[in-house]
Structure 1
């Protein structure tokens, strides 16, 4: 018996290469092109890690070669979908999506790959991915050109910007006239329009894509009511480039969102919360609630310790905790009123109900540091020790 089994990521890469050789390509036979690229991307194979690095780059190139021919055509093999999630360079827009969810998202039009490109002054920008599931809108833009800066988002401050930063040297370093700025940065946050109207959202994110070099990712989490079919316009500009970049792509989804509005309240002492709405799509779960009152403290959260604000886990009917997309912590005393509007991973199909499990973390008010935060036994970052409040748990049936 082999005492050194093939690691999962190596098996996935083997399957991908086999799939490339055995599949019937939708536009001519591209397997020769792909395998030629594999030969051209020779890298040292001194360690298993370097071997994987080489194959990861190759596989990322494969996806680029296939492009709209496979992914955009509405077909992602299980092997390819699984591999996408593990290849550096694919992008964080796939974050939290399982193999089935990726395929479902493509089938329903939720996930698309426009691959629209615009070139100005030697720099090409490509709107590579768009995800809209009825509750959040995400997109990624890739940058290509000679001698690009290491990061994508501009580090510069406007010359007339007012800042409370007391580090005058830092401010001086980042207030650089446009004519002296290094070429190739995304100059400002992209402007996003829906059917020609600028998106107005209080909760959004722009920045370097942590999973994909030379790319930025944008995400809107609070969009209000949008149609299932619209024209998406994304405008942006680059430092050192006079002409702006504009992309226009159609978006049309098969919206099968599940929406429940329990308006149910749970109370513990002076604290209470009311779940206003729970939305479930094939890629996202959204929880909206209001809370008021001082959070209850356990025996361990007295004296030199105290509880944080209230947080909320969503647990499905199989006991699986949905991963929260962003987890906010504030180094200060909790407020007594909150409006929570948070995104979590998608629910599995045919989930009958979910349970909301409120919890707090334990902190030291002397410096507001979190007790138990650090590296967990599984090697992943641990937010801290959770204190669940049983009497605040709420079971919510889903109208499937």
Structure 2
């Protein structure tokens, strides 16, 4: 087979190869192959150059085919997995709504690291909007028999008060506040996602202190500047102003807040003849049951899943005598409407801009 036939074969194989590789890699192969000469008359020196290019192209193709079929060592796979163009901490761990926001490039980089008791905690990224906050971190834990199990104690400041949280092993496994994943050796990726029921301020500095990690007491303290401006630019607020009757109540849809990570719906509720008194415990129980009966769908009929709180309950609740909220994972960006159904009697079709 002569050089021209080899060139042609390589081009055909490059077009037909089905491998899952980054686009700029495959573009690089095409560029190398496209640069190979196709002239019928070749000088000796040019033939040598052409053969060298063919060898390089074959080597590249072999490497990418190897990656595409998964035939790489664990060390190589780990190295590739952690290259900047492949992923971020949020893409590995954390809430699905945060992952959606991360895919839109709405996270902000952090560069803080504290070493204490031989344990290094490095903050890498944050996501922040009106309804959600998540911090992506890396823990490097010294070699031990059990390794890093979980963060057992931490505290943070909110509205002038310090909130301290402790987690047993079982609580840590079930908590949505903390997620982590072993990456390699003594390295772990994790996210911390405190829940604030109120809307979060436009700019804020989170004071976070980790106090016990993997059975080791210490102090890993951070001041984290946060801004929600990038998320605010794509956050949408709708005030439908629709209402209907169900279960002896008048239910109205006051507001829909759609951030990149969350869909929050604010409902108004009152009795058919008079306002609800907060002291009426049975009435409040009935409102809870009404809230649980609410289902939400996008314009394609796909149900929105509820965001759960730290106890596994649907996130939301009564914010006043006549208001309650429900939080859902983000609605699809191409959804042109939302359907809110209560039992079989009440149904709202709400257009979205």
Tell me, yes or no, whether TM beats 0.5. yes
SS in structure 2 of the partner of residue 238 of structure 1: strand
**Count of residues in correspondence between the two structures:** 264
**One of 138, 145, 155 as aligned partner of 1:191:** 155
Q: 1:191 Cα shift?
A: 1.6
What pairs up with 1:16-27 in 2 under 5 angstroms? 17=25
Question: Aligned partners of 1:193 and 1:20: how far apart in 2?
Answer: 50
When the two structures are superposed, what TM-score results if normalisation uses the length of structure 1? Answer: 0.51
Q: Which residue of 1 aligns with 2:137?
A: 141
Q: 1:95 Cα shift?
A: 2.3
Residue 84 (structure 1) aligned with residue 87 (structure 2): yes
Q: 1:348 Cα shift?
A: 0.9
Q: Which residue of 1 aligns with 2:117?
A: 121
Question: Aligned partners of 2:28 and 2:205: how far apart in 1?
Answer: 34
Question: Aligned partners of 1:259 and 1:102: how far apart in 2?
Answer: 21
Question: Aligned partners of 2:337 and 2:324: how far apart in 1?
Answer: 23
What pairs up with 1:111-260 in 2 under 5 angstroms? 111-147=107-143, 149-153=146-150, 186-188=151-153, 190-193=154-157, 198=162, 205-209=176-180, 214-239=188-213, 241-254=216-229, 255-256=232-233, 257-260=235-238
> 1:284 touches 1:347 (CA, 8 Å); kept in 2?
no
Residue 345 (structure 1) aligned with residue 330 (structure 2): yes
Q: Which residue of 2 aligns with 1:62?
A: 83
Residue 15 (structure 1) aligned with residue 36 (structure 2): no
What pairs up with 1:37-116 in 2 under 5 angstroms? 48=69, 51=72, 56-63=77-84, 80=85, 83-84=86-87, 90-93=91-94, 95-96=96-97, 101-102=101-102, 104-106=104-106, 111-116=107-112
Residue 267 (structure 1) aligned with residue 263 (structure 2): no
Between structure 1 and structure 2, the one with the greater Rg is 2
SS in structure 2 of the partner of residue 62 of structure 1: coil
1:237–1:329 distance in 2 versus 1, CA, 3 Å: closer
Residue 280 (structure 1) aligned with residue 258 (structure 2): yes
5+ long unaligned stretches in structure 1: 23-41, 64-79, 154-185, 297-307, 331-336, 360-388
Question: Aligned partners of 1:143 and 1:294: how far apart in 2?
Answer: 40
5+ long unaligned stretches in structure 2: 1-11, 31-62, 166-174, 270-285, 315-321
> 1:60 touches 1:89 (CA, 8 Å); kept in 2?
no
> 2:91 touches 2:102 (CA, 8 Å); kept in 1?
no
Q: 1:314 Cα shift?
A: 3.1
SS in structure 2 of the partner of residue 59 of structure 1: helix
Q: 1:394 Cα shift?
A: 1.0
SS in structure 1 of the partner of residue 209 of structure 2: strand
Q: 1:233 Cα shift?
A: 1.8
**One of 340, 348, 352 as aligned partner of 1:356:** 340
Question: Aligned partners of 1:98 and 1:142: how far apart in 2?
Answer: 17
Residue 313 (structure 1) aligned with residue 284 (structure 2): no
| Partner deviation per Cα, 1:324-366 (whole Å, 9 max, x = no partner) | 4449579xxxxxx9955223124416x543222346xxxxxxx
Q: 1:114 Cα shift?
A: 0.4
1:295–1:286 distance in 2 versus 1, CA, 3 Å: closer
Q: 1:132 Cα shift?
A: 0.6
1:329–1:211 distance in 2 versus 1, CA, 3 Å: farther
When the two structures are superposed, what TM-score results if normalisation uses the length of structure 2? Answer: 0.57
Q: Which residue of 2 aligns with 1:393?
A: 347
Question: Aligned partners of 2:349 and 2:73: how far apart in 1?
Answer: 44
1:222–1:237 distance in 2 versus 1, CA, 3 Å: closer
SS in structure 1 of the partner of residue 200 of structure 2: coil
